[in-house]
Amino acid sequence: MLILVTGGAGFIGSHIVAALTGAGHEVRVLDALLPAAHRTAPPIPDGADFRHADVRDAAAVAEALRGVDAVCHQAAMVGLGKDFADAPAYVGCNDLGTAVLLAGMAEAGVRRLVLASSMVVYGEGRYECPTHGGVGPGPRRVADLEAARFEPPCPRCGEPLVPGLVAEDAPLDPRNVYATTKLAQEHLASAWARAVGGRVVALRYHNVYGPGMPRDTPYAGVASLFRSALERGEAPRVFEDGGQRRDFVHVRDITGANVAALGGLPGLPEGTARAYNVGSGEPHTVGEMAAALADAHGGRAPVVTGEYRLGDVRHITASSDRLREELGWKPQVAFLEGMREFATAPLRAG
């Protein structure tokens, strides 16, 4: 197959491109090389047809789609960003870019899409109240965060909640600009599938880490921020009390999920969009991750700062059972193994 990978020069995209070319596919890469992700031009895997263009450029997209069998859409601005002033850039890159791509696919007759989505579409994760059962906590309040009351209470009785695993049919509640754009991408892709008889797999990535992450950028994930600090000889700064639960999944496992999704697309009914969580199945706190990374690096121990970002959620961990059962995927990289590798792996200029 000839597969177009948008954002194929980026952190996750470049790993996907290497895996697809290694599996014998023809791969075409479309990447704008935005400065937020690329301080210098990255290497492009041998055998890939590289197009330096923005996914919002309809003419460039049309040209890149010639002869393509499927699209793996990774191009996006990622992370929480700096502040709300980033909103136009996020919406432009993520939502307008996706709309232009989908319009081009409709015109070109390309009907198979793997979309890079994110666990952020859920907002807060799944919670149980001992009295009221499954509940959705309300917005985090500045007064609570300032007082170091980080755990969300039951919105009905105020008692502590127990976090659990989120399945794909959980309510969607994006709580920051990036999250809102990722959900909009899913809705656009679903509308496209219904309109043209397409097939979409939306992969909701959890906290991805691994070799080649960008360093020293506010748009990177928390693992990259900690790794960048260690490389500078600084202690990783852990926000809140470090007790935030996340699912850290290695980029090679994300790559495997994309390969499985491409293989599973023909089995979907026409006009269908199907979402899958992609997580390791090993929830850990942010504090545990920082400690494991610092220990493996041999650097300074993490510092828990009590600082917070209002757009962050407290706990979000996934069940990836649907991906395992329907597409035969399973993670290969265990948490400590991955952290030991990542502690000394090369980073890219961010």
Order of strands across the sheet that contains 283-285: 207-209, 245-250, 283-285
Q: How far apart are CA 155 and CA 139, in angstroms?
A: 10
Q: In this structure, what is the dihedral angle of CA atoms 242, 247, 251, 256, given to the nearest 10 degrees?
A: 180
CA distance 311 to 80: 7
Instruction: Report residue 213 CA to chain centroid gap.
Output: 12
Q: Decide: residue 249, CB within 10 A, 0-12 exposed, 13-18 middle, 19+ buried.
A: buried
Task: Tell me which residue has tokens 């397409």.
Answer: 198
The type of residue at 54 is: D
Q: What angle (nearest 5°) sits at the alpha carbon of residue 5, between those of residues 311 and 337? A: 65
DSSP 165-232: EEPTTSPP---SHHHHHHHHHHHHHHHHHHHHT-EEEEEEE-EEE-TT-EES-TTS-HHHHHHHHHHT
Work out the burial of residue 29: count CB atoms within 10 Å of its CB; fewer than 13 is exposed, 13-18 middle, 19 or more buried. Answer: buried
Tell me the C-alpha to C-alpha distance, in Å, between residue 279 and each of 215, 250, 349.
23, 9, 26
Active site residues: 178
3-class DSSP state for residue 309? coil
